[in-house]
Amino acid sequence: MIAQVLADAAHLHGAANVLARHGIWAAAILFPAGFFGSSAGRGATRPNRLIILLYLGAAALTAGVLTLGIGLLSS
């Protein structure tokens, strides 16, 4: 929620605006999906292929926060 307000304050345009606005909330969905999805299944002792959602969530969060931070510093 705060990221949306900060993205308005940064006056971002184009791809930077989309990345700053949607990267952070996408990470909030991808992280839990990766944790719970990768451990699903009977007798699972190792994560399954859904572990990739954790890495996608980390990439989305990193890209969103960096874009928002650079946008705020440059405005």
**pLDDT tens figures, 29-71:** 999 999 999 988 888 889 899 999 999 999 999 999 999 999 9
Residue 48 DSSP symbol: -
d(CA 35, CA 56): 12
Note the pLDDT of residue 62: 96
Note the pLDDT of residue 43: 84
pTM for the full predicted model: 0.86
| Rounded alpha-carbon distances, angstroms, from residue 64 to 17, 27, 32, 68 | 9, 9, 18, 6
| Greatest alpha-carbon span in the chain | 52
